[in-house]
Structure 1
Amino acid sequence: MSLKIEHFVIFLTISCFLSCRDVTSLAKIQGRQIGIEASIKASDSIENFVSPYRKRIDAVLDSALAYAPSTISKTDGKYNTTAGNLLADIVLSEAEPIFRSRTGEDIDFVLLNHGSIRSIISKGKVTARNAYEVMPFENSIVIAALSGKSVQNLVLYLRDYGVPHPISGLQVVLTKENEIQSIRIQGKPLNEKDTYNVATSDYLLNGGDDMVFFKDATQVTNIDYKIRNAIIDYFSKVDTITPDIDDRFYRME
């Protein structure tokens, strides 16, 4: 009996040794680019499988959530625009209750970037698809605590950059000579000794669009809320969307 066990052990050892030596390895990888062209015929089986899902997604994205009486654009103003004002106001209104519930504090103002707005909202029905067109990025809302001095640097950036970056809760008035006439936050003059909670995107927080002043944030709160989702939530709450070009940022004539 013990002899049989010994033979079995020897056989098993040899088998393991041989199997360990029989190892294949990857020698090279080859690939080629296959262009998606009209000449490529669709696969009926794949199309039949995907079709119900596509129809459902299109129905959800194209359902009317609100109405825009006129076209909303990021190019219709020099210092602030209808699209920029709408987007910044949405972030303020939708992120504020979340931030307050988690911290007990309020958002003082919002700063986003002009370049993140990628589409107009045409006159007519407003849908979730519009939100994806306006904000195709996966950017999330974060709140950075900035000193009054950092906010001054932020305003100098807005003056010098020459682009109508979206703001809300912040008013900047320039003189005819392009000097800063006044800075008001939630209707009150800027106080250098105060700390302000500024809602922005995670992209800008990391220095995007040269917004290096965010590196001086004393605290950062990520509320786990994508800007696009905030837009869709806002669209679902209102009947009519009517943003205006106003006096939140202007130059005296």
Structure 2
Amino acid sequence: MKRYLLFLLLTAGACKFNDNYTPARIEGKQLEITPDIPANDSLENFITPYKEHINKEMEEVLAYLPYNLSKSDGRYNTAIGNLMADALIELSNPIFNKRTGENIDIVLLNYGGIRSSIAKGDVTTRSAFQVMPFENEVVVAALKGEAVREMIHYLIDSGTAHPVAGIELQLEKDNSIKKVLIQGKPLEDSATYYVATNDYLLEGGDSMNFFLKAEEATNLDYKIRNLLIDYFKAKDTLNPVRDQRFIKVE
């Protein structure tokens, strides 16, 4: 019995102090996923009701679009970008105003965030998911006019149709600024402007580092995709166009 107890103690001691284990052997096998793999009927039967329910919701018609929308239909502003920016300011401003007593002056989103075109015809919930598949939320940053001026130069240097609203920006042929207005008034460096954007850009995404100078930021807890769905529902027919908000004088 003593020998047995001694053996247990020695074994326990060895287990306690010898804890540097390493794998003796690692084996792997590549399994190719092909259409030839037979379907799992029980799994398909389980998934089908949920899939049908989701498809029904995704195909719900929200509005009508009389022409195709593409983010490549303009150099400095596009109809689809203007739609997104205008939707943002229209639906976000009442929420922001109720929370803070202030109004949104500017909207700035990113060109790369428009992930799909919208085809002529019925606009559905799926359309909103295709255009904005991300979980980005609306945030409003308080920026001094100096930071907004940096934003203006970012737009000029990028030469890209980032969705904007609340701004009227005209460039000369040499890219110098002919006119810049915020809500119809000249930009003032010392003034504070409230800029609606998304949480990704607020953190300096797409090199929009001017957002890092925000004096404060308010998250509206409103996903941009959900905002688009609400906007589409509120409109019978969508009629976005390119306009004069950002142009170069030819």
- Which of 155, 164, 184 lines up with 2:181 in the alignment? 184
Q: Which residue of 1 aligns with 2:123?
A: 126
Amino acid corresponding to residue 58 of structure 1 in structure 2: N
1:102 aligned residue: 99
Q: Displacement, 1:36? A: 3.2
Q: Residues 220 and 251 from structure 1, CA distance in 2 versus in 1: closer, same or farther, beyond 3 angstroms? A: same
Secondary structure, aligned partner of 2:218: strand
Q: Distance in 2 between matches of 1:36 and 1:197?
A: 50
Residue 176 of structure 1 and its aligned partner are, at CA, apart by 2.1
Shift of 1:34: 3.8
Q: What is residue 234 of structure 2 aligned with on the other side? A: 237
How many Å apart are 1:30 and its aligned residue?
Answer: 6.2
Q: Identify unmatched segments of 5+ residues in structure 2.
A: none
User: What is the CA distance between 1:182 and its match in structure 2?
Assistant: 1.4
- What root-mean-square deviation, in Å, do the aligned CA atoms of Structure 1 and Structure 2 show? 2.1
Q: What does the per-residue CA deviation read over 1:36-68, in whole Å, with 9 as the maximum and x for residues that have no partner?
A: 321111111011111011011000001111000
Aligned to 1:42: 39
Matched, 1:200 2:164: no
**1:79 corresponding residue in structure 2:** 76
Paired residue for 2:109, among 79, 99, 112? 112
Instruction: Give the alignment's TM-score, normalised by structure 2.
Output: 0.89
Instruction: Name the CA shift for 1:41/1:248 in 2 (closer, same or farther; >3 Å).
Output: same
Deviations 1:154-193 (A, max 9, x none): 0001001111110011111111221011111111111112
What secondary structure does 2:135 align onto?
coil
Distance 1:131 1:33, change over 3 A: farther
The letter of the residue matching 2:119 is S
Question: Could you say which residue in structure 2 is the equivalent of 1:246?
Answer: 243
Structure 1 residue 164 and structure 2 residue 166: aligned? no
Q: Deviations over 1:184-211 (max 9, x none)?
A: 1111111112100000111111111111
Q: Equivalent residue of 1:183, what SS?
A: strand
Give the TM-score taking structure 1 as reference length. Answer: 0.88
Residue deviations 1:78-121, cap 9 Å, x none? 11001111111111111111111111111111000000101000
